[in-house]
Structure 1
Amino acid sequence: MSAGLRIWHAGALGLCRRQADTLIRLRTLLAAALGAAALAGPSQGSEPARPRVVSLDYCADQYVLALADDDQILGISTGPDDAYSAMRSHAAGKPRIREAAEDVIALEPDLVVRSFGGGTRARTFYERLGIPVHDLGFAQSFDDIRQTVTATAQALGQPERGAALIAQMDAALLAAGEQTTEDRPAVLYVTPGGVTSGAGTLVHEILVAAGFENVAARGGASGWRDLPLERLVLAPPELIVTGFFDMPMNRVDHWSPTNHPALREQLAETPTIHLDGAFLSCGAWFMADVALQARRRADRVLEERP
């Protein structure tokens, strides 16, 4: 046998041995995993174990913090100092995690919960690795929120908590409705970026639930849109509702439309109520509380006007 042939033969034999060793290790790991699953399986009559979860963004965090047990939470994206999180007080002491795939995989979660975290391919990526993903979707109505709460509670093995959150939301909506009158004050929603919200948005749903007429939805206008400055001058609203002005990353600068003289004049002369941006950041059950608070504050400021 030539020297070259001997080298090729030795290399091929080594490759075969390495492949065989790899197969043996994979079979061993698979057998161990199957054995562990069998041992960990629920006994007859016992409840199945609830999934251990990782949350990839602050909207997903809201649901995980409200619905999951502490020992289910392997990691969330926000902490007690995150302004966008309405549930930030519940985040204290919870493990935090980056949305980087290697960090998530290292925790070996049973479930990944996300809204926008991880990017558009996150679901495909994790499910290829055998990790289920629960997407919250993007709610545009309180009915959507009910469906999201129910589905997420089911995915987390906490259906009773989901039902309780929906009952809490419906109670707040009922209370807001009881305080409304036939006279629906015309209101304009204003953000630091100079946009407002027409029909087909959760902000519109909040305003309607609070018993207001949303000026930005007149004529069937829908979605997010620039503030109607001309309409604001010709037909000023009875009330201005602001959102996100309390957020440090949403400061009004020199170029902001909210610095327009017409709008600044209206903000100075029109009764105004300010909403906590954290409760507007994600479509969730607590938006019903926002509607109730908005109605109560509106009643006070409208009564105080000269």
Structure 2
Amino acid sequence: MRPSKLVLFVSITVAAGCSSPQPQGAVAPYNPGKAPLRVVSLDFCADQFGVKLADRASIVAVSPDATRDFSFMRAEAKGLRQVRPDAETILALKPDVVVRSYGGGPQMVPFLERAGIKVHQIGWGEDFAAVRTNVREAAGALGQPARGEALVADFDRRLASLKPAPQVSALYVTPGGVTTGPGSLVDRMMVKAGLVNFQTQKGWNPLPLERLVTEQPAMVVTAFFTAQSPHQDYWSQARHPLVRQMLTDLPVARLDGGATACSGWFMVDAMEAMAATGRSIHAKTGALPKDLQP
């Protein structure tokens, strides 16, 4: 081989992580009962499961959002290497398992699998069963099934021991000025916490400002209202004086933004916080809010 061609060959090999991609369909055999030696997570949802369930020494890299304030496991993720979800970078890290929810886009999974890298996809769901499934499947992919079962057991224990509020009306408010109604995961969390969702329209919709002029909930539930969270749009309804006044005058359950995302076990933290705020209202008044009285 001529020297110039040899240099080119070595450069390409190094850039590709010192390994040649395997033919399509030739995914290396993987034993889910054996803990992988090298784990990489590609987005902040995947970070939660990787950081919680994998051995820290096995975590090669996490996403750049792993330590952001909307990442529940942000404290535990500090000190871990952060990489962007681009194919060349991932190949160079030589992971045994890549955990993702959306990181890298739709073409990332087939690309990595052609290179012989196991990819575990974090699922999504709108109920508590999805939480159990996500934990168990991620734990299995990371070779830590016992940790997964322990985490699910703790999740179920805390759900069972949750002391709900006595049907206190509440409005969920995001910095973007939207709220959610019946059928969403946040709504199910509110119901489990003993709250009655002030928003009656299904799906995610703008805050009901016209209704709030004449009628208000007993409390407000907020998430992501922190300094590092995405800035509110200037025209966001969350900036409306009526909403700002509510946040000042009414009891507010200020949730860790990370506790409401990614269908994870940590949502029980949010439910406990909502229930505690609702119970405190009832304890002070000794009666149900006016809008819920017979």
Question: Shorter chain as normaliser: what TM range?
Answer: 0.7 to 0.9
The alpha-carbon deviation at position 136 of structure 1 amounts to 0.5
**Corresponding residue number in structure 1 for 2:164:** 180
User: 8 Å contact 2:35–2:142 — kept in the other structure?
Assistant: no
Q: Which has the higher contact order (CA 8 A, sep 6+)?
A: 2
**Corresponding residue number in structure 2 for 1:37:** none
Secondary structure, in 3 states, of the residue corresponding to 1:248? Answer: coil
Aligned residue among 114, 118, 122 for 2:104: 118
Task: Say whether residues 1:56 and 2:36 are aligned partners.
Answer: no
Task: Say whether residues 1:87 and 2:73 are aligned partners.
Answer: yes
**Corresponding residue number in structure 2 for 1:10:** none
Task: Say whether residues 1:280 and 2:241 are aligned partners.
Answer: no
Secondary structure, in 3 states, of the residue corresponding to 2:229? Answer: helix
**Corresponding residue number in structure 1 for 2:188:** 205
Task: Say whether residues 1:261 and 2:247 are aligned partners.
Answer: no
User: Deviations along 1:111-138, whole A, 9 cap, x unmatched?
Assistant: 1100111112211221122212111022
Distance in structure 2 (CA, Å) of the matches to 1:65 and 1:248: 21
Secondary structure, in 3 states, of the residue corresponding to 1:246? Answer: coil
| 1:132 to 1:265, Cα distance in 2 relative to 1, 3 A | same
The alpha-carbon deviation at position 305 of structure 1 amounts to 6.2
User: 8 Å contact 1:245–1:251 — kept in the other structure?
Assistant: no
The alpha-carbon deviation at position 49 of structure 1 amounts to 5.0
Distance in structure 1 (CA, Å) of the matches to 2:113 and 2:67: 32
Number of aligned pairs? Answer: 260
Question: TM-score of the superposition, structure 2-length normalised?
Answer: 0.80
**Corresponding residue number in structure 1 for 2:224:** 244
User: 8 Å contact 2:40–2:61 — kept in the other structure?
Assistant: yes
* Higher Cα radius of gyration: 1
**Corresponding residue number in structure 2 for 1:69:** 55
**Corresponding residue number in structure 1 for 2:23:** none
Distance in structure 1 (CA, Å) of the matches to 2:251 and 2:134: 35
User: 8 Å contact 1:145–1:285 — kept in the other structure?
Assistant: yes
Aligned partner letter, 2:151: L
User: 8 Å contact 1:196–1:225 — kept in the other structure?
Assistant: yes
Instruction: Give me the identity figure in percent.
Output: 41
Distance in structure 1 (CA, Å) of the matches to 2:56 and 2:138: 16
**Corresponding residue number in structure 1 for 2:197:** 214
Aligned residue among 107, 130, 135 for 2:121: 135
Question: TM-score of the superposition, structure 1-length normalised?
Answer: 0.77
Aligned partner letter, 1:202: L
The structure in which a higher percent of residues are helix is 1
The alpha-carbon deviation at position 95 of structure 1 amounts to 2.6
Secondary structure, in 3 states, of the residue corresponding to 1:189? Answer: strand
Secondary structure, in 3 states, of the residue corresponding to 2:283? Answer: helix
User: 8 Å contact 2:68–2:228 — kept in the other structure?
Assistant: no
| 1:60 to 1:76, Cα distance in 2 relative to 1, 3 A | same
Distance in structure 2 (CA, Å) of the matches to 1:289 and 1:174: 13
Q: How does 1:152-163 map to 2 (within 5 A)?
A: 152-163=138-149
User: Deviations along 1:188-234, whole A, 9 cap, x unmatched?
Assistant: 10011110011232211211111111122x2xx32211111122223
User: Deviations along 1:56-101, whole A, 9 cap, x unmatched?
Assistant: 0111010001111123212111477421211112113323222121
User: Deviations along 1:156-178, whole A, 9 cap, x unmatched?
Assistant: 111110011111111221222xx
Q: Which runs of 5+ in 2 are unaligned?
A: 7-18, 21-29, 287-294
User: 8 Å contact 2:168–2:278 — kept in the other structure?
Assistant: no
User: 8 Å contact 1:79–1:91 — kept in the other structure?
Assistant: no
Distance in structure 2 (CA, Å) of the matches to 1:106 and 1:249: 31
User: Deviations along 1:5-49, whole A, 9 cap, x unmatched?
Assistant: xxxxxxxxx9xxx9xxxxxxxxxx99xxxxxxxxxx99xxxx745
User: 8 Å contact 2:164–2:279 — kept in the other structure?
Assistant: no
Secondary structure, in 3 states, of the residue corresponding to 2:211? Answer: helix
